[in-house]
Amino acid sequence: MKILVTGGAGFIGCNFVHYLLENHPEDKIVNLDLLTYAGNLESLADIADKPNYQFVKGDIADMEQIDALFAREQFDVVVNFAAETHVDRSIKDPGVFVRTNVMGTQALLDASRKYGVKRYHQVSTDEVYGDLPLDRKDLFFTEETPLHTSSPYSASKAGSDLLVLSYYRTFALPVTISRCSNNYGAYQFPEKMIPLMLTRALHDEALPVYGTGENVRDWLHVKDHCAAIDLILQKGREGEIYNIGGHNEKTNLEVVRLILEALDKPESLIHFVEDRKGHDLRYAINPEKIERELGWKPQYTFEKGIRETIAWYLEHREWWQHILDGAYKEYFQKMYKM
């Protein structure tokens, strides 16, 4: 098969590209990424020369470029990771999120329909469901939970999900959607919580924790996420949504303390800051549908996954240091003379 992975230079996307090349070496992978601030080709340097892998710099919201790419490549499958994803950035500039997450999705859907893509998969988020109360541990997000967004980011993702489902109903485009909990693992951009806390702690810098740190997230290892998407592509029913969760609920403060303990750093580095506007209290996914229908189960406990993640960042200091000092942006120019 020929698979288009959009946003494949980002955190989850690059892990998925690595996963496909390792587990489906017979497939051809085209990675389309605009290389905005969070896209990093250094994350793909070890597979850049593989004969069944190709990188294309491009914008999913550029309809002319998307149409030309689909006409040339004739993709069998599209997996759309490309998105603006950082909540704080969406509060500062919502328009960028609407353009990429909604208009970009429309461009991909139109091209998929026009050129006969056999499966279009939309990678979404549990944040489209809003949040759950901290004192109701019996409540979980299911695929039937009503959408109730809290930020411009989650609203733009909910809008793109609804657009995807409309193309299934109106045009019979073969689509699936997955909604995941918070991912962590190798190659995550250092603005996200775990690598942010980890890299700051290594420099003995203050760790900014929103509010009291009691907000709860369900943590999903990125490798478990990749395996789940692969199963959905192979066995998932068209027009269906699949929630992917890790069964690993932790408060933000618990996660920060685990990182400090692993690095042998003092808790005095924790610095509580003013809470985020509209900060969701608790995310918790019920993944029974994908477990029951497709046989997926997460392989990582959070304790195992966080140890591996911390070890990866310690062993790859150059990768994240290049991001912190801006040098990672030079990799594209060196590789592609642009």
Question: Which residues participate in catalysis according to the annotation?
Answer: 126-127, 153
CB-side neighbour CA atoms (13 Å) of 15: 20
Decide: residue 271, CB within 10 A, 0-12 exposed, 13-18 middle, 19+ buried. Answer: exposed
Q: Give CA–CA dist 168/325, Å, rounded.
A: 44
Gap between the Cα atoms of 44 and 49, Å rounded: 10
Comparing C-alpha atoms, which of 80, 79, 77, 81 is closest to residue 118? 77
Answer for the pair 4, 73: CB distance below 8 angstroms, yes or no: yes
- Which phi and psi (to 5°) does residue 51 adopt? -65, -25
Rounded to an integer, what distance in angstroms lies between the CA atom of residue 216 and that of residue 218? Answer: 7
From 17, 43, 34, 15, select the one nearest 82 (Cα to Cα).
34
Q: Could you tell me if 203 and 329 are in contact, meaning their C-beta atoms sit under 8 angstroms apart?
A: no
| DSSP symbol at 145 | S
CB 171 within 8 A of CB 112: no
> Phi and psi for 189 in degrees, rounded to 5?
-60, 140
Please report, as a single letter, which amino acid is at residue 284.
Answer: A
Answer yes or no: are the C-beta atoms of 61 and 103 closer than 8 Å: yes
Which two tokens mark 146? 């009503």
Q: What are phi and psi for residue 292, nearest 5 degrees? A: -75, -45
In sequence order, which ranges of 103-176 are alpha helices (DSSP H)? 104-114, 152-171
Q: Which residue has the tokens 């912190």?
A: 324
Type of residue at 140: F
